[in-house]
């Protein structure tokens, strides 16, 4: 029993340490995943690959260099977020609000942007076919 508790503790510590290295603020990742609200959060270099982030509020958050590959961001509010260098390859951004969002050097390859409000206020038709 003690060995099982020790192994579980070691595993949880390893997961926490890995998350801490990849993101500037692991507490913000926990908040995001538990509440779907994380305004002005520090999520730089966060590993959010394949995450279900539908309807999340990420206004004014720092997502520079975050891994959001194949993440589900449908109808999320990313207004004024900084996604510089983020990887959104294959992400679902349908109807996402990206007004005034920084998408500099962001990988949007194969991302579905159908109905997304783009940084300039236009509505995307990419992926609507």
pLDDT in tens, 94-122: 999 999 999 999 999 999 999 999 999 99
Q: Kindly list the distances between the CA atom of residue 39 and the CA atoms of 3, 29, 81, 118, in Å, as whole numbers in the listed order.
A: 41, 12, 9, 19
Q: Which range is least confidently modeled, 5-9, 51-55, 71-75? A: 5-9
The answer, yes or no, to whether residue 18 has pLDDT greater than 90, is no
Query: Per CATH, the architecture of 24-129 is what?
Result: 3 Solenoid (2.160)
The mean per-residue pLDDT over the stretch 8-13 comes to 41
The mean per-residue pLDDT over the stretch 25-40 comes to 93
Please give the backbone phi and psi of residue 111, each rounded to the nearest 5 degrees, phi first: -75, 145
- What is d(CA 47, CA 127) in angstroms, rounded to the nearest whole number? 25
DSSP 6-36: HHHHHHHHHHHHHHHHHSS-HHHHHHHHHHS
Domain ranges of the chain: 24-129
């Amino acid at each position: 029993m003690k060995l099982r508790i020790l192994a579980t503790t070691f595993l949880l510590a390893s997961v926490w340490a890995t998350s801490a290295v990849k993101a500037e603020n692991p507490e913000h990742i926990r908040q995001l995943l538990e509440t779907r609200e994380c305004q002005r959060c520090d999520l730089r270099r966060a590993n959010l690959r394949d995450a279900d982030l539908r309807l999340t509020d990420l206004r004014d958050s720092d997502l520079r260099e975050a891994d959001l590959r194949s993440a589900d961001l449908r109808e999320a509010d990313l207004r004024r977020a900084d996604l510089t260098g983020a990887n959104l390859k294959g992400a679902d951004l349908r109807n996402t609000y990206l007004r005034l969002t920084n998408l500099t050097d962001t990988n949007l390859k194969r991302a579905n942007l159908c109905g997304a409000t783009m940084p300039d206020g236009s509505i995307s038709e990419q992926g609507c076919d």
